[in-house]
């Protein structure tokens, strides 16, 4: 199926109005004061191609990443590098994959429908200054709400209605509950096995009110697949939740606030709150963020019941603004539930530097 879609994508270039390419390369070095974790260097690359047609648009997204170190910083503290291991094989090695391949049909009155291989997290819970680990905060808690059980890249559809003076922007996402990285072999073959036991549906919706200075987003989601938490099956529980995002910007200052709740009987993280601040200066962009995640009581162990993530970064433009260098410092607390056996209920200071180049 994916081969056929790729072939159609290539053939659609004939007669297309415009073909656009863009992408980027990111490298990240991080070290920590926890001597059990090794310093780590990771890299990733992204390539987007869009083909505009008379009534729609094709999107192809190719992604690659290196293998994260087995005892590296991101293995002990998974949130500190939202870009680490974005593409992995079943053996845990880095690789290259087609992450998105879809077609969007544009209709009247600002409506559109996207179908194909999609990223559900790209359409819900978005923020202006805390949404992209290659450009904004590196910590994953400032990329997406920890209570939302997003699947990885998966088959599905997105229905959107753009907002106007009379209504908010409406987004509805319907997809499989399991994405490429959620399948046993991390393969397209597994992804297409829709009859596999335990599979279900992810359904998400959101309403957005977007203004020059403020933005408001509210939404809800659910997953009806079998919930497997630390190898313990949670029977007869649908995972669901609600979220909200507030954004404000004025001049060189901007603020982002995220909050979320989820079903405490099926979700490890059942409460979430994050606050991020950004200041643009003549020399670069300063970012400061703090996020707290509560672990549901039925899953928490004898260690910390909450996770804490905080980050300070300063993004410095280079290469005529086509790239940037971003030193950062993070302080994180990981509850015993999420940590490896060698580092239960641990905390660390993580220092790093990110280089990103866009083309």
Ranges of each domain in the chain: 2-358
> Can you tell me the mean pLDDT for 148-176?
95
Supply φ then ψ for residue 73, to 5 degrees.
Answer: -60, -45
End-to-end CA distance of the chain: 30
pLDDT of residue 303 exceeding 80: no
| Right CATH for 2-358 from 3.40.50.720, 3.90.1300.10, 2.40.160.10, 2.30.110.20 | 2.40.160.10
CB 357 within 8 A of CB 47: no
Dist. CA 69–CA 301, nearest whole Å: 27
Least confident of 192-206, 229-243, 248-262: 229-243
> Can you tell me the mean pLDDT for 213-233?
81
Average pLDDT, the chain: 89
CA angle 148, 185, 48 (to 5 degrees): 65
Could you give the C-alpha distances from 225 to 200, 233, 303, in angstroms and in order? 4, 11, 29
Burial classification of residue 143, based on how many CB atoms lie within 10 Å of its CB (0-12 exposed, 13-18 middle, 19 or more buried):
buried
> Can you tell me the mean pLDDT for 287-302?
84
pLDDT of residue 145 exceeding 90: yes
Question: Chain-centre distance of CA 298, in angstroms?
Answer: 26
> Can you tell me the mean pLDDT for 151-180?
95
Confidence of residue 160 (pLDDT cuts 50, 70, 90): very high
* pLDDT at position 343: 46
pLDDT of residue 247 exceeding 80: yes
Least confident of 65-69, 159-163, 299-303, 333-337: 299-303
* pLDDT at position 5: 47
Dist. CA 339–CA 347, nearest whole Å: 10
Element (H, E) at 126: none
pTM value? Answer: 0.88
* pLDDT at position 210: 93
> Can you tell me the mean pLDDT for 219-241?
75
Close Cβ partners of 349 (under 8 Å, ≥ 6 residues apart): 32, 33, 329, 330, 331
pLDDT digits (tens, 9 = 90+) for 101-131: 999 999 999 999 999 999 999 999 999 999 9
Query: Which stretches does DSSP call E strand in 119-200?
Result: 154-161, 169-176
Dist. CA 333–CA 309, nearest whole Å: 7
pLDDT of residue 274 exceeding 70: yes
* pLDDT at position 337: 53
Residue that wins the pLDDT comparison between 59 and 19: 59
> Can you tell me the mean pLDDT for 221-228?
83
* pLDDT at position 54: 87
pLDDT of residue 30 exceeding 70: yes
Least confident of 52-61, 109-118, 219-228, 252-261: 219-228
């Amino acid at each position: 199926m994916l081969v056929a879609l790729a072939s159609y994508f290539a053939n659609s270039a004939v007669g297309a109005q415009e073909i656009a390419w863009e992408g980027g390369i990111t490298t990240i070095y991080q070290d920590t004061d926890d001597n059990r974790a090794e310093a780590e260097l990771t890299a990733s690359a992204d390539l987007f191609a869009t083909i505009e047609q008379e009534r729609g648009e094709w999107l192809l997204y190719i992604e690659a990443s290196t293998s994260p170190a087995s005892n590296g910083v991101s293995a002990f503290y998974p949130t500190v590098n939202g870009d680490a291991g974005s593409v992995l094989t079943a053996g845990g090695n880095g690789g290259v994959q087609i992450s998105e391949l879809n077609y969007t049909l544009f209709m009247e009155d600002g409506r559109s429908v996207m179908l194909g291989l999609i990223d559900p997290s790209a359409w819900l819970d978005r923020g202006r200054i805390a949404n992209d680990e290659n450009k904004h905060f590196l910590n994953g808690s400032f990329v997406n709400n920890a209570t939302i059980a997003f699947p990885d890249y998966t088959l599905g559809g997105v229905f959107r209605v753009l907002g106007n003076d009379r209504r908010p922007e409406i987004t509805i996402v319907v997809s499989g509950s399991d994405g490429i990285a959620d399948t046993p072999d991390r393969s397209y073959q597994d992804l297409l096995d829709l009859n596999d036991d335990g599979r279900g549906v992810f359904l998400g919706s959101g309403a957005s009110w977007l203004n020059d200075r403020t933005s408001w987003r509210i939404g809800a989601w659910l997953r009806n697949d079998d919930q497997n938490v630390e190898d313990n099956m949670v029977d007869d529980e649908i995972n669901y939740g609600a979220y909200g995002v507030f954004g404000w910007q004025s001049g060189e200052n901007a603020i982002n606030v995220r909050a979320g709740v989820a079903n405490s009987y099926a979700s490890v993280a059942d409460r979430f709150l994050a606050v991020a601040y950004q200041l643009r200066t003549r020399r670069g962009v300063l970012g400061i963020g703090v996020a707290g995640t509560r672990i549901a009581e039925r899953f928490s162990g004898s260690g910390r019941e909450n996770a804490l993530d905080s980050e300070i970064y300063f993004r410095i433009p280079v290469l005529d603004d086509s790239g940037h260098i971003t030193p950062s410092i993070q302080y994180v607390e990981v509850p015993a539930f999420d940590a490896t056996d060698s580092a239960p209920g641990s905390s660390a200071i993580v220092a790093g530097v990110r280089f990103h180049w866009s083309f």
